[in-house]
A and B are shown apart, each in its own frame.
Chain A
């Protein structure tokens, strides 16, 4: 299977919370990242978490890391239509300069 996996699609109603999940197989990464891609555009870093942390909160975003299960999640509180995008998780490539990206989750926010 893929190194970093995500569910393909998530649909939520405006104002609800969204939870986007990511699993990975290689636990050697020091940092894990969440990127957002709006339609037809490049990716932008939303947030990141250091591997010795369990949780990081940044305004409406909460990142949870379960190192034992190799599971990363991104929670978006009070989801807005402007949050509709593809969300990618990524892990650092260890000693290399690369990022290993997940398959991306398309978040659709219904008004």
Chain B
């Protein structure tokens, strides 16, 4: 069966510090991968998605970047965190080749607080 891991679960960082959040998927190959941010426990904002190694699409201009160094690894980074980067970060994956059906499977999330 497939599983998705995110770490750390919680993180408190000072403004201006770097960030690295990691997401890995097990039990599948060639997944589509996604990073979302959920601010104040509400709506989801898609930040990045990837259809393959080294292929990253950015949805919104921001202080963050994403990389996919391996097929099942997706990393969210920042060189200098802002207060507005605080939120709940969710990683998700979906299968390719399912036509227009795109069920996404979510990780447990990382709670980031920037002070």
Contacts and interface: CB of A to CB of B under 8 A. Distances in A.
B106 A43 contact: yes
Interface residues of A, number: 25
Nearest to B108: A42
B51 A97 contact: yes
Interface string A24-36: 0000011101000
Chain A CB count within 10 A is highest, among B46, B51, B102, B108, for B102
Which bracket fits the contact residues of B?
A: 20 to 34
B43 interface: yes
A99 B43 contact: no
A99 B102 contact: yes
Contact of A98 (B46, B99, B101): B46
B103 A48 contact: yes
Given A33-B103, A45-B103, A40 B109 contact: yes
A103 B92 CA distance: 18
Interface stretch (A15-23, A53-61, A62-70, A85-93): A85-93
Given A40-B111, A98-B102, 7 more contacts: A8-B42, A29-B100, A30-B101, A42-B107, A42-B108, A43-B90, A99-B46
20 contacts: A8-B42, A40-B111, A41-B108, A42-B90, A42-B106, A43-B92, A43-B104, A44-B106, A86-B42, A92-B100, A92-B101, A95-B100, A98-B46, A99-B46, A99-B104, A102-B43, A103-B42, A104-B42, A104-B43, A104-B44
